């Protein structure tokens, strides 16, 4: 199959298409640039996607109306203007949506250079397989700098609609060194992990702190949607035996490593987030972050001060899946306060209009730098008491007073 330029590809598009744009490190920047330079190419068309906050920083809705199953700060203006249609779907449901109801005509994604008649999805194997199942026309944007991973999804050249020459910068995600409070949070969470556990984590500073604290563990395995640089240290130290993930995002060192690391298997969301598959895993502990948790155990992981800045993503898939595994646990980790200690992230009740990313019925374990609150099977008063005990000390009296006022209305 001959390789064409992004500009040539843009000229081939017919009006009125429904086009999936891959997110994470598969964002086809070169093609998006070409489409921006030729606005008529997307006449009457609609974009579909799952862009990820802090990674995909472009406003896709500036090119065409966007239907998405995740939110980023860059899309908020489009959401307010009606150019963005946001679907608050679990990742497992987003995969099913793209596989059918989304009615995608085409999918555009970055990939590694062709080898042996096929291309590797490189760092991002999450949603493109759903579009493959849907029969969408597949447009592979080749970047030779992307890794051809040993174990992951491959697509035959004969399945492609077009092969586009599109090298572009791969998004990097550096992680800040955890401070004292974050390190304490990490130690508390790591204390809940047992040798031989199946572990799921997200990415970010909190996860880095947890991973750093797990250095003394052995025979761990990872199963999740995304990994970052901290996993490399665990592989090198013999802490982790194997990893199953949908996406790898982090530094150039991580991207280089996955090209030769046979202990990392890349799988689509239909595998990584499938409830039946997760429930069949032994002794799983899911570790995820939240913006705030209220005294009922409800967690908000997607909105800050009334602004939609992220989405629930796969957190509920893993929380529910982990709780159903034998000896499974689901941990929500967060610092107890923010803005220099002036606000509590343990709150009496989520504010009206705030989405509940994790329901109180799904709540299991909440951890802050001040300790661990075990919520499974706890009654309402026990939940409140345990959560107040791990709140920042300067906010505990106010939280107790708030609970007493709410309790009086029950």
pLDDT tens digits along 87-103: 999 999 999 999 999 99
Residues 58, 27 contacting (CB under 8 angstroms): yes
**Helix, strand, or coil here: 333?**
strand
Interior CA angle at 175 toward 333 and 259, to 5°? 110
Provide DSSP, 209-255.
Answer: HHHHHTTT--SEEEESSEE-THHHHHHHTTSEEEEEESEE-S-HHHH
**Tens digits of per-residue pLDDT, 71-86?**
999 999 999 999 999 9
Q: What is the pLDDT of residue 219?
A: 96
Dihedral of alpha carbons 296, 207, 189, 200, sign = positive
- Domains belonging to the chain, first-starting first, are 3-165 (3.40.1080.10), 180-408 (3.40.1080.20)
Instruction: Show Cβ contacts of residue 233 under 8 Å, excluding neighbours closer than 6 positions.
Output: 211, 212, 215
Q: For residues 67 and 230, what is the distance between their CA atoms, to the nearest angstrom? A: 33
The rounded distance, in Å, linking the Cα atoms of 234 and 251 is 16
**CA–CA separation, 234 and 217 (whole Å):** 9
Indicate the DSSP class of residue 26: G
Residue pointed to by tokens 């920047």: 29
Q: For residue 32, give both structure tokens.
A: 């998006």
Cα 153 to Cα 90: distance, rounded to the nearest angstrom: 22
Whose tokens are 């992220």? That residue is 310
Query: Which pair of tokens denotes residue 393?
Result: 């000390």
% residues pLDDT > 90 (the chain): 87
Q: Residue 216: what pLDDT?
A: 92
The token pair at 225 is 């949607």
- The yes-or-no verdict on residue 213 having pLDDT over 90 is yes
- In this predicted model, what pLDDT tens digit does every residue of 281-309 receive, in sequence order? 989 999 999 999 999 999 999 998 888 88
Q: Is 24 left (phi over 0), alpha (psi -120 to 50) or beta?
A: left
Q: 405: buried, middle or exposed (CB in 10 Å: 19+, 13-18, 0-12)? A: exposed
- Using only the alpha carbons of the chain, give its radius of gyration: 22
DSSP of 357-388: SB-TTT--EEEETTEEEE-TT--HHHHHHHHH
Chain mean pLDDT for the chain: 95
Cα gap 12→14, rounded to integer Å:
7
User: Model's pTM, two decimal places?
Assistant: 0.94
Q: Which of 51-65, 172-186, 362-376 has the lowest mean pLDDT?
A: 172-186
Among 248, 261, 255, 345, smallest CA distance to 299 is for: 345
The predicted-structure confidence for 314-366, as pLDDT tens digits, reads as follows 999 999 999 999 899 999 999 999 999 999 999 999 999 999 999 999 999 99
Residue with tokens 């957190």: 315
Round to whole Å and give the CA distance between 227 and 207: 10
CB-side exposure of 201: number of CA atoms within 13 Å?
28
CA distances from 45 to 74, 141, 193 (A): 20, 20, 48
């Amino acid at each position: 199959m001959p390789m064409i330029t992004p500009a040539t590809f843009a000229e081939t598009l017919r009006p009125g298409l429904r086009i999936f744009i891959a997110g994470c490190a598969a964002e086809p920047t070169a093609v998006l640039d070409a489409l921006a330079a030729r606005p008529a190419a997307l006449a009457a068309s609609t974009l579909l996607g799952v862009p990820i906050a802090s990674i995909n920083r472009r406003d896709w809705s500036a090119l065409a109306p966007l239907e998405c199953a995740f939110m980023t700060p860059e899309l908020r203006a489009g959401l307010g203007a009606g150019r963005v249609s946001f679907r608050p779907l679990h990742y497992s449901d987003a995969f099913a949506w793209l596989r059918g109801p989304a009615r995608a005509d085409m999918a555009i994604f970055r990939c590694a250079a062709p080898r042996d008649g096929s291309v590797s999805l490189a760092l991002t194997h999450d949603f493109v397989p759903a579009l493959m199942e849907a029969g969408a026309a597949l447009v592979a944007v080749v970047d030779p700098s992307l890794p051809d991973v040993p174990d992951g999804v491959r697509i035959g050249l004969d399945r492609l609609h077009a092969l586009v020459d599109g090298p572009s910068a791969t998004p990097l995600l550096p992680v800040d060194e955890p401070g004292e409070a974050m390190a304490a949070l990490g130690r508390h969470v790591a204390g809940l992990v047992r040798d031989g556990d199946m572990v799921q984590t997200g990415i970010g500073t909190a996860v880095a702190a947890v991973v750093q604290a797990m250095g003394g563990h052995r025979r761990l395995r990872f199963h999740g949607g995304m990994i970052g640089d901290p996993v490399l240290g665990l592989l090198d130290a013999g802490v982790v035996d194997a990893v199953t993930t949908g996406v790898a995002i982090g530094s150039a060192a991580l991207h280089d490593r996955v090209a030769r690391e046979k202990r990392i298997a890349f799988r689509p969301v239909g595998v990584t987030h499938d409830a039946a598959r997760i429930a069949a895993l032994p002794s799983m502990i899911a570790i995820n972050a939240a913006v705030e948790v209220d005294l009922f155990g409800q967690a908000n992981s997607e909105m800050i001060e009334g602004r939609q800045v992220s989405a629930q993503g796969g957190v509920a898939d893993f929380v529910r899946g982990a709780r159903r595994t034998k000896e499974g646990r689901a941990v929500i980790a967060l610092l107890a306060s923010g803005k220099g200690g002036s606000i509590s992230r343990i709150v009496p009740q989520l504010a009206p209009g705030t989405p509940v990313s994790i329901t109180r019925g799904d709540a299991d374990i909440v951890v802050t730098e001040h300790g661990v609150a075990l919520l499974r099977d706890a009654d309402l008063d026990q939940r409140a008491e345990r959560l107040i005990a791990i709140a920042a000390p300067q906010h505990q009296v106010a939280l107790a007073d708030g609970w007493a006022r709410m309790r009086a209305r029950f």
